[in-house]
Structure 1
Amino acid sequence: MNWAMWSIDRMLILFVSVAFLMIGIQVAMFHYRQNFISKAMWVPVISAPVFLLVGLILTWNNAPWLRTLFMVLMWLGVVDGLIGFYFHFRGVGIRVGGWALRNFLIGPPVTLPLMFSALSALGLIAIYWKVW
């Protein structure tokens, strides 16, 4: 396969897809460690592999309906990450001592949902990318 002929948006979609595999594993481990206390914990665990599969298929098959599906999924990923940030930030606050530094260190990782949103935003940049 000739990688020199790949466009930047195609490479970004491939990168985002593989990155969702890695972040999905991390999210699954953290949420498993907490015994999936909230049903909302299942959303990123289930959506990350879906993002991976749709992105990989889109990398090799640039069908318009796949681009639209990937775009919708990336918007959902942005929203999911922001909602996760709210839950994680609130989770730190309800620990004994509130928003003390030690609770940010041992409580739910506040930045991980933002990374989920940022990765989804990178996918959106790849979808909306226009070569001038």
Structure 2
Amino acid sequence: MVWSHWSSDRVIIFMIGLFYILLWAQVTMFHYRQNFHSKVMWAPVLLAPLICLVSIISTLANTSGWFGLTQVLFWLGAISGLIGFYYHVKGVGKRVGGYAFRNFLIGPPIMLPLLFSGLSILGLIAVYGG
């Protein structure tokens, strides 16, 4: 296999797979720190390594079956991140003082779920645009 024969969309999907394992580590640490007090916190912890694995396998195997599964997981990742954004914003509001600026600094990181969605959306752009 020679890298020069890989299309840009294939490289992007491969890199997204690698980035999801890094994102998984961060999300897992944050949710572990909060003792997984809500069951919905398990979604990105379980979904991120799955997206990572399937994205990498689909680029290496280069078969339609893995490619289709990658599309489905990217859609789930995009939706999961948006749901996480909702819960994180809601969590900031539950802190003393509500939506005061300081609560955005010390509360749940509202940008992290958007990053989760953004990576999946980038994957979907590579999938449908490639």
Tell me the TM-score normalized by structure 1: 0.96
Aligned length: 130
Partner residue, 2:67: 67
Write the mapping of 1:97-112 to structure 2, written as runs, cut at 5 A: 97-112=97-112
2:6 equivalent to 1:6: yes
What is the CA deviation profile of residues 6-62 of structure 1, one whole-angstrom value per residue up to 9, with x for unaligned ones?
Answer: 110110011100000000000000000000000000000001000011011011111
What TM-score do the two structures reach when normalised by structure 2? Answer: 0.97
Partner residue in 1 for 2:31:
31
Question: Which residue of the partner structure matches residue 118 of structure 2?
Answer: 118
Q: Give per-residue Cα distances to partners, 1:76-96, cap 9 Å, x unaligned.
A: 101000000000000000100
TM-superposed deviation, 1:65: 1.4
Question: 2: CA distance between counterparts of 1:75 and 1:86?
Answer: 17
Shift of 1:129: 2.1
Q: Which runs of 5+ in 1 are unaligned?
A: none
Name segments (4+ residues, structure 1) moved above 3 Å.
Answer: none
Aligned to 1:20: 20
Specify every segment of 5 or more residues in structure 2 that has no aligned partner in the other structure, as ranges.
Answer: none
Query: Aligned equivalents of 1:2 and 1:129: distance in 2?
Result: 23
User: 3-state DSSP class of the match of 2:36?
Assistant: coil
CA distance in 2 between counterparts of 1:78 and 1:10 reads 19
CA RMSD of aligned residues (A): 0.8
Deviation at 1:67, TM superposition (A): 1.0
